[in-house]
Chain A
Amino acid sequence: MKLQQLSLFLENRPGQLSEACRILAENDINMLTLTLADTQQFGVLRVIVSDVQRARQTLEEAGIMVQIAEVIAVEVPNEPGGLARVLDPLEAHDLDIEYMYAFASRHKGRAVLVFRFRDTDAAVQVLKQLQLTVLREHQLTDLV
């Protein structure tokens, strides 16, 4: 149920993002989805990859600061209110979202929401109760 996402520290200067991407490409690691958070000072690249352990190792060998974070991916209909219908009950259960991002699936009419919760285990329980489609890694791969 829980997916492993890589978080990379990037300095805020040219070439930092492309270097990380190049390392992954050279090692034949595919990025399923990603998002970039940035400040004036630095950025954090969050990426779900095809082979998380190998990706981590190659990035660390290249001197990049990497962490693995547990995230949850939920599949929803790609239509108005798709996200709101998930957020409302999460809020009702007092689940704190650290951050989230979303992408449209290659399957028409479906979208994927990726959440980083403060308490991932509690979130999994609630999402199950709500009978939402929580994706496993192979399912995510299929949707990208």
Chain B
Amino acid sequence: MNATFQSTFHPVSAPDFLPAPQLRQLQMARLSRILQHAYDRVPLFRERLQQRDLTPSSIRHLEDISRLPFTQKSDLRDTYPFGLFAMDIHDVVRLHASSGTTGKPIVVAYSREDIQVWSNAMERCFAAYGMNANDIIQNAYGYGLFTGGLGAHYGGESLGATVIPISGGNTERQLMVMKDFGVTAICCTPSYFVHLCERIQDLNVDLASLPLRTGVFGAEPWSDAMRDRIQEMTGIRAYDIYGLSEIVGPGVACECAQQSGLHVLEDYFYPEIIDPDTEEPLPDGTEGELVLTTLSKFAMPMIRYRTRDITAIIPEPCACGRSLRRIRRISRRSDDMFIIRGVNVYPSQIETAMLRVEGTTPHYQIVLTRQHSLDQIAVQIEVTPQIFSDTVKAIEASRRRIQQEIENLTGIRVTVELVRPGAVPRSEGKAQRIVDKRNV
């Protein structure tokens, strides 16, 4: 047991340090159980296995998992709302939802035990960041259908910490609470935290004089450079957290004191890396698409779920002593979905919105920027004869209706900018719909 191990050890972290053979054994036992459960309860999964002449007992070793069919986001959409549930709705204690491509959300379900697993996963993430029961957590992730708020909330309570369920927004109140309640840890998107820091400087408050020491940042891509900036600017330790609603929400993987990759909570979520084109498994150390299997989630098990997130499993053991394998910080995705302020957005949603208002889909481009540390989304739309009128109020009305429809479909506020025909660059082949100027 080395010094780092001792300094970060919290009783709840014990599973993080299971010797590898024991961890694999546990994973295999849990995999067998969840496969049988999904096979018995989810018609789509059973049919797919039968088509391949497989049964749950065909999977005898962890490596055999690559024989199983993938689950895709489209499967959730096609079976909307409850088609992939593996438990009766009466045994489901919680539903969450995230935005889908067509305005219909993706719905996810939790049993009472699933909530406990999730809470435990989040609690272990907090413990890995060095947090404990003495922490006062300002939870500025959004509460509601989004998994971020309640995920962090339950994890914080499991840890025995004091959780302030302030949710997102209202910067003035956030700063007041941070100052007056003696907050020691904050959960929010990294860009929102930078925004808070800038505002607190305007108020002539020195962050270093406050007890805040830990930041739990996720729900949008950020970089090591941004972490360095946050840590230098504020003196806190800024940690990355990874998760997605389809698997559980936040708490799938977390950094440790080393800040060198994210440990996947492998005893709950089994990671694989595949080549997104050939769909073949790739060895540790090779970059590809992250595929996750929930080993302990029974209301809605996900078997080989394709996350579309691009990363690699880090083959070397971590200096912290955890046996949980690490993935590299996720910086990009293999599809055209983008994440802004924690919300998944697809270009096709913008098209649907325009179609609803004007009955046509003009050329458009989505421009992501970061202003005053907050992500901004502008949709540039080439003006069409349908939109154009010689009265300003008629054009404004169309522009606002498109803006409103996009907000209805995605849940985020955008600025629609009308540009002249031909102003959006044309490209050969697949249109470049997104211009990301955020420089994360």
Shortest Cβ distance from B382 into A: residue: A65
Shortest Cβ distance from B391 into A: residue: A98
Count B interface residues, CB 8 Å: 17
Residues of B within 8 A of A38 (CB): 392
Q: A67 and B389 in contact (CB under 8 A), knowing A41-B417, A44-B395?
A: yes
Shortest Cβ distance from A71 into B: residue: B390
Shortest Cβ distance from B390 into A: residue: A7
Q: Is B42 an interface residue (CB 8 A)?
A: no
Q: Is B421 an interface residue (CB 8 A)?
A: yes
Neighbour of B388 across the interface among A5, A16, A39, A65, CB < 8 A: A65
Q: Is A92 an interface residue (CB 8 A)?
A: no
Q: Is A84 an interface residue (CB 8 A)?
A: no
Residues of A within 8 A of B417 (CB): 41
Q: A9 and B418 in contact (CB under 8 A), knowing A41-B399, A65-B383?
A: yes
* Nearest chain A CB to B255 CB, angstrom units: 42
Q: Is A11 an interface residue (CB 8 A)?
A: yes
Instruction: Give 1 or 0 for each of B413-431: 1 = CB within 8 Å of chain A CB.
Output: 0000111111100000000
Docked pose: A103 CA to B423 CA in angstroms: 34
Docked pose: A85 CA to B431 CA in angstroms: 56
B418–A99 CB distance below 8 A:
no
Q: What are 18 A-B pairs with beta-carbon distances under 8 A?
A: A7-B390, A9-B383, A9-B418, A11-B419, A11-B423, A37-B392, A39-B396, A42-B395, A44-B390, A44-B392, A44-B395, A46-B390, A63-B420, A64-B420, A64-B421, A67-B389, A99-B391, A116-B390
**3 smallest beta-carbon distances between A and B, as pairs:** A7-B390, A69-B390, A63-B422
Docked pose: A38 CA to B396 CA in angstroms: 11
* Nearest chain B CB to A143 CB, angstrom units: 22
Shortest Cβ distance from B416 into A: residue: A41
Residues of A within 8 A of B422 (CB): 63
Docked pose: A41 CA to B389 CA in angstroms: 15
Docked pose: A41 CA to B402 CA in angstroms: 14
Residues of A within 8 A of B423 (CB): 11
Docked pose: A16 CA to B418 CA in angstroms: 13
In the complex, besides A63-B422, A67-B385, A69-B390, 18 extra interface pairs with C-beta distance below 8 angstroms are: A9-B383, A9-B388, A9-B395, A9-B420, A10-B420, A11-B423, A16-B420, A39-B392, A41-B417, A42-B395, A42-B418, A44-B390, A46-B390, A63-B421, A64-B420, A67-B389, A99-B391, A116-B391
Residues of B within 8 A of A63 (CB): 420-422
Docked pose: A120 CA to B383 CA in angstroms: 26
B395–A11 CB distance below 8 A:
no
A67–B388 CB distance below 8 A:
yes
Docked pose: A64 CA to B392 CA in angstroms: 17
Q: A65 and B392 in contact (CB under 8 A), knowing A9-B383, A41-B399?
A: no
Residues of B within 8 A of A7 (CB): 388-390
Docked pose: A93 CA to B420 CA in angstroms: 38
Residues of B within 8 A of A64 (CB): 420-421
Shortest Cβ distance from B396 into A: residue: A39
* Nearest chain B CB to A37 CB, angstrom units: 5
* Nearest chain B CB to A127 CB, angstrom units: 20
Residues of A within 8 A of B388 (CB): 7, 9, 65, 67
B389–A65 CB distance below 8 A:
no
Instruction: Give 1 or 0 for each of B367-405: 1 = CB within 8 Å of chain A CB.
Output: 000000000000000010100111110011001000000
Residues of A within 8 A of B396 (CB): 39, 41
Which residues of B from 115 to 140 have beta carbons under 8 Å from A? Answer: none
Residues of B within 8 A of A9 (CB): 383, 388, 395, 418, 420
Residues of B within 8 A of A65 (CB): 383, 385, 388, 420-421
